[in-house]
Each structure stands twice: as structure tokens, then as C-alpha cells.
């Protein structure tokens, strides 16, 4: 009877160990997939945000360049009007 009990006890022990191993492996797979998904999504969102910001900065730079160019032309025109004809030539 002792031998039969030992056989069943060892059988449950091995089945329990393999179940625990399977659960641990499944948990590890789930955790690594979750980390991969979160990091991938965060990277994609960061890249998209940086592209949006660079687009806004580029547009602002183009607008500022146009405004500065217009101001420079207008100031040059007005200083030309203030100069006497001898100085301007």
C-alpha cells in the first residue's frame, strides 16, 4: 500500500510541476508580448508626435521667414525714401 501511495504521490508531484511550468511559461510569454506591444505603441506614438511637432515648427519657420522678408523689404523701401537722391545712388 505504501508503494502504491508513493507512485500516486510522485505522479501528482510530476503533473503538478509540469502544470506550474506551463503556467509560468504562459505568464512569461504573456508578459513579454505585453511589454513588446506597449513599447512598440509608445514608440509609434512618440514618432508621430515628433513628426507633428516638426511639421508645426517647419510651418512656423516658413511663416516667420516670410514675415521677416516682408519687413526687411518694407524697411529698405522706407529708408530709400528717406535718403536724399545723392545718397541713394
> What range does the domain containing 67 cover?
2-79
**Domain-embedded: residue 60:** yes
Give tens-digit pLDDT for 27-78: 888 888 888 888 888 888 888 888 888 887 888 878 887 888 888 888 888 8
Q: Where are the alpha helices (DSSP H) in 1-89?
A: 2-82, 85-88
**Domain-embedded: residue 64:** yes
For residue 87, the model assigns a pLDDT of: 53
**Domain-embedded: residue 84:** no
Total domains in the chain come to 1
Give tens-digit pLDDT for 9-31: 766 666 566 676 777 788 888 88
For residue 40, the model assigns a pLDDT of: 82
For residue 38, the model assigns a pLDDT of: 84
**Domain-embedded: residue 44:** yes
In whole angstroms, what is the distance from residue 25 CA to residue 32 CA? 11
Q: Is the pTM of this model over 0.75?
A: no
**Domain-embedded: residue 49:** yes
**Domain-embedded: residue 12:** yes
Helix (H), strand (E) at residue 84: none
Amino acid at each position: 500500500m505504501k508503494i502504491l501511495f508513493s507512485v500516486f504521490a510522485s505522479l501528482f508531484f510530476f503533473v503538478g510541476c509540469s502544470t506550474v511550468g506551463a503556467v509560468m511559461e504562459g505568464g512569461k510569454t504573456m508578459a513579454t508580448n505585453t511589454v513588446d506591444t506597449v513599447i512598440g505603441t509608445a514608440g509609434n506614438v512618440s514618432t508621430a508626435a515628433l513628426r507633428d511637432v516638426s511639421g508645426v515648427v517647419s510651418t512656423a519657420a516658413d511663416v516667420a521667414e516670410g514675415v521677416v522678408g516682408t519687413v526687411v523689404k518694407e524697411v529698405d523701401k522706407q529708408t530709400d525714401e528717406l535718403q536724399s537722391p545723392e545718397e541713394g545712388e
